[in-house]
A and B are shown apart, each in its own frame.
Chain A
Amino acid sequence: MIRIDALSLSIHGLPILRDVSLAIGKGQIFGLVGESGSGKSMTALALMQLLPHGAEVTGRAILDEIDLLTKSEADMCALRGNEIGMIFQEPMTALNPVQTIGDQVAETLLIHDAATRPEARRIARDRLDRVGLSHIGMDRFPHELSGGQRQRVCIAAAIALHPRLLIADEPTTALDVTTQAQILDLLKDLVAEEGMSLLLITHDLAVVSDMADHVAVMQNGEIVEQGPTAQVLGQQNHPYTRALFAASSHQPDRTRMAGRAPLLDVENVSRLYPGPRRGLTRGDPVRAVDGVSFQLHKGESLGLVGESGCGKSTLTRAILGLDPIQGGAIRLFGEPVTPSMRNDLRAGIQVVFQDPYGSFNPRWQVEKLVAEPFHLMAAPPPDRRDRVAEALQSVGLQPADMAKYPHEFSGGQRQRIAIARALITRPRILVLDEAVSALDVRVRAQILDLLADLQSRLHLSYLFISHDLTVIRAITDRVLVMQAGRIVEEGETETVFTAPAHSYTRTLLAAAPRLDIMGRATTNAAM
């Protein structure tokens, strides 16, 4: 139904895509996988003719005998939303915040003169019902909806005119696993019902293996391998496909060495936020963390999983002594943790955050960035430069990197710098807050190896916070499952994953997409 022939793209002379060819049949789900920067999204935007300035395209993109690449902007406006719908990664920002959701869905119809205003509203209601929002009023604004609901609104707007092709660009990457599973199910149903084709762009092999009929693997602007999903992921003929596959289910080599001495003791901790304002008074406080207790032992790797909003980050902030707690006690090396705790106590627990781009001052050199935690010490060590060099080496960077600025590094290298910064005070505990979530699978595998290696060399204890079950399973000894501010399940990681006791844990595990492609299922089971 749609065929791309030898599509090449360069932006301001820089080649982005080379000879991309693929064909998507009617009612087919076509998965396009690859790491960030491989050209997946650009392929889609080229189809839509929504490329950034300075883009030059060659090749053909045929939709029912029509070459989209030769169409004028006015013709494309008539095609977009009508023949081809598209949804994007960030449902939180993909909708206009000052327009009701009903208007935004109806707009697709109105802009193409497909309906009168009352009719458009009626159809919009119908489409919203179809995507599972029958309980949500048309006059609601995006900020009143959750991320999953917003993505449903985007889908409703994209399918309002029954397009023949829906392009979904990382549609569930920003969503929790349970929400992701629901959105993917919805997309699957829509494809079956509407007979439309779906171009599913994702970095996640597991999502593709669950969803797609056909899959194409992209690397550096080229499709390196494509074919029926079972065949491509089952045989893995191309070394890059193999590398991606191996990295997706990578298990770092680590031995368990947890001691019995608790370094961090969290006892019945509660963290309350003031309730909503009601005139001059306030409503009941919100219990973001509710009676949480656990211990982190020397050399142990403890996982904390839960979906967004479950209280993971709030708990983390309390443990780091950034926020006061309203109940219970946190003791670090036997001393109480409070926002006013001593700096040398803080030096013993360091943190690595998710975003390797946002967590550095772009105007500082690496030496200064890595040496920053020294201010926690009474007197900075005299061998400051040596210590920075040592920390950089321990995370696989060169001492010469000291003189560089953050923008000179890739995402994975920046995360190494963040780890070096955390290690500089020689802490005993490292808090890893979604530390590998923003990284591509191959880089993620390398960072996980690095963390495992550092743990065995430096006898570190990890508190590993993530929404990603695969990562938690790969790197932790014990795991805590958090839901709505409470720990609902706690136990040995393997036990929790193979025999979950709590219903919520079971829901989470069931929702997580798995890489089970014929016989390859053993890869997963061996983990």
Chain B
Amino acid sequence: MLRYLLNRLISLCLSLVAASLVIFLVIEVIPGDPAAFMLGLNATEANVAALREELGLGGTLPERYWAWVSGMLTGDFGTSYTYRVPVADLILDRLWVSLPLAGYALALSTAIAFPVGLIAASRRGTATDYGIMGGTQLGIAVPNFWFAMLLVLVFAVNLQWFSAGGFPGWADPMAAIKALTLPAIALALPQASILARVMRSALLDTLGQDYIRTARAKGLSRRQAVIRHALRNALIPVLTIIGLQFSFLLAGAIIIENVFFLPGLGRLIFQGITQRDLVVVESVTMLLVFAVILVTFLVDIAYAAADPRLRRK
């Protein structure tokens, strides 16, 4: 088990190094002169030179790469050109919205998907199953921004249970959670639909396995066999999807963030791109990559916890 962990950890570090190199090359090298790119076509020579100075573009490529990486390791992500504040502060603020939102949405989607998938699988071929399959198909097909607007219309405008958007900050945790509820539901719906379908098919696979028959021959009821034997074996494909979904929720909530006026990471990177603030884009991208790799690592550990066969490798 320890060796497996160490192995995964080494692979995590290597992935990070590779990702940072790619990001560095794409943002700082391929556009030519980042300073000229950021200032646009009408920039004067003097302005460009000043920005070059400010961004520290003087050194050789390895020097600049090292300065960037070592800066990030010590928490210095540089200073945003448009906001004129340290990027680290910007990210930290936004992370306090995006991270809870992603977690909230994932918790919702898992909480919906597990029982729904379980019910569909154990009632395979019945009207319940068909109903659930149809419902999840709809959940995947409906665009989530449209669903988000529908939620706003019903729960914020008509019923006035929630506010239509904005984020009050974490000073009042209840208010913060309330503000994140509609966006989390909007994000969770398609994810839950996908997850429920994966759960169903994974369970159906395991229910056809010989060890379920063995369990039944030992005297377990159908229900006991599902809960004690099928569920954990069905977890591997489900965990894979959960990992992918979390990464997506962290960065991919950009449209939902816009619908609900949430100051999240998605909006930050979007603004960074439109304002050509390469410092912000570079750092946020790196952060997101880090998050994805970290989640993959956690999923790998979860695999090993779920399946003893993976621990030996």
Contacts and interface: CB of A to CB of B under 8 A. Distances in A.
Interface of A: 48, 50, 73-74, 77-82, 85-88, 90, 93-99, 107-108, 111-112, 141, 143, 154, 157-158, 277, 279
Contacts of B3: 279
Contact of B228 (A48, A78, A94, A107): A107
- 7 closest residue pairs by CB, A with B: A81-B219, A81-B218, A86-B217, A93-B210, A80-B219, A96-B211, A141-B308
Contacts of A86: 217
B217 A158 contact: yes
A277 B10 CA distance: 15
18 contacts: A48-B217, A50-B213, A50-B216, A77-B219, A80-B216, A80-B219, A81-B217, A81-B218, A85-B218, A93-B209, A94-B210, A94-B211, A95-B214, A96-B215, A98-B307, A111-B219, A112-B219, A279-B3
Nearest to A160: B218
A85 B214 CA distance: 10
Nearest to A74: B221
B208 to A, nearest CB: 11
A82 B219 contact: yes
B221 A90 contact: no
A73 B220 CA distance: 11
Nearest to B308: A141
Contacts of A74: 221
B178 interface: no
A448 B220 CA distance: 44
A111 B218 contact: yes
B217 A97 contact: no
Nearest to B223: A77
B214 A78 contact: no
A98 B308 contact: yes
B307 A157 contact: no
B219 A96 contact: no
Contacts of A141: 308-309
A112 B218 CA distance: 9
B221 A95 contact: no
A79 B232 contact: no
B291 interface: no
B218 A157 contact: yes
Contact of A80 (B211, B217, B233, B313): B217
B211 to A, nearest CB: 4
Nearest to A99: B229
A157 B214 contact: yes
B224 interface: yes
Interface string B133-167: 00000000000000000000000000000000000
A78 B211 contact: no
B89 to A, nearest CB: 41
B108 interface: no
A107 B218 contact: yes
A482 B221 CA distance: 46
Contacts of A154: 214
B211 A50 contact: no
Contacts of B211: 93-97
A357 to B, nearest CB: 17
A172 to B, nearest CB: 16
A86 B217 CA distance: 6
B306 interface: yes
Given A90-B210, A96-B211, A99-B229, A108 B221 contact: no
Nearest to B211: A96
Interface of B: 3, 209-211, 213-221, 224, 228-229, 232-233, 306-309, 313
A82 B217 CA distance: 10
B218 A143 contact: no
Contacts of A108: 218-219
A154 B215 CA distance: 10
A108 B306 CA distance: 22
Contacts of B216: 50, 80
Contacts of A157: 214, 218
Contacts of A48: 217
Contacts of B232: 98-99
A94 B218 contact: no
Contacts of B210: 88, 90, 93-94
Given A81-B219, A85-B217, A97-B211, 14 more contacts: A50-B217, A77-B221, A80-B217, A80-B219, A82-B219, A86-B217, A93-B209, A97-B309, A98-B309, A99-B229, A107-B218, A112-B219, A141-B309, A154-B214
A74 B171 CA distance: 55
Nearest to A89: B210
A95 B211 CA distance: 5
Nearest to A107: B218
Contacts of B224: 111
A454 B3 CA distance: 55
Contact of A96 (B221, B233, B306): B233
A111 B233 CA distance: 20
A259 B233 CA distance: 56
B199 to A, nearest CB: 17
A48 B3 CA distance: 45
Contacts of B217: 48, 50, 80-81, 85-88, 158
A111 B220 contact: yes
Nearest to B233: A98
Contacts of A277: 313
A157 B218 CA distance: 8
A344 B233 CA distance: 47
B121 to A, nearest CB: 14
Contacts of A85: 217-218
Given A79-B219, A81-B219, A96-B229, A143 B309 contact: yes
Nearest to B209: A93
A73 B216 CA distance: 11
A94 B210 CA distance: 5
A81 B216 CA distance: 8
B231 to A, nearest CB: 10
Contacts of A94: 210-211, 213-214
A143 B312 CA distance: 11
A279 to B, nearest CB: 8
A93 B205 CA distance: 13
A97 B219 contact: no
Contacts of A93: 209-211
A352 to B, nearest CB: 28
Contacts of B229: 96, 99
B233 A78 contact: no
A96 B216 CA distance: 12
A143 B221 contact: no
A220 B53 CA distance: 89
Query: Taking each of B209, B215, B307, which has the highest tally of chain A beta carbons within 10 Å of its own beta carbon?
Result: B215
Contacts of B233: 96-98
Nearest to A100: B308
Query: Taking each of A90, A97, A143, which has the highest tally of chain B beta carbons within 10 Å of its own beta carbon?
Result: A97
A95 B233 CA distance: 12
Contact of A97 (B218, B220, B308, B313): B308
A66 to B, nearest CB: 16
Contacts of B215: 96, 107
A93 B211 CA distance: 6
A111 B3 CA distance: 36
Nearest to A108: B218
Query: Taking each of B219, B228, B309, which has the highest tally of chain A beta carbons within 10 Å of its own beta carbon?
Result: B219
Contacts of A73: 221
Contacts of A95: 211, 214
Contacts of A50: 213, 216-217
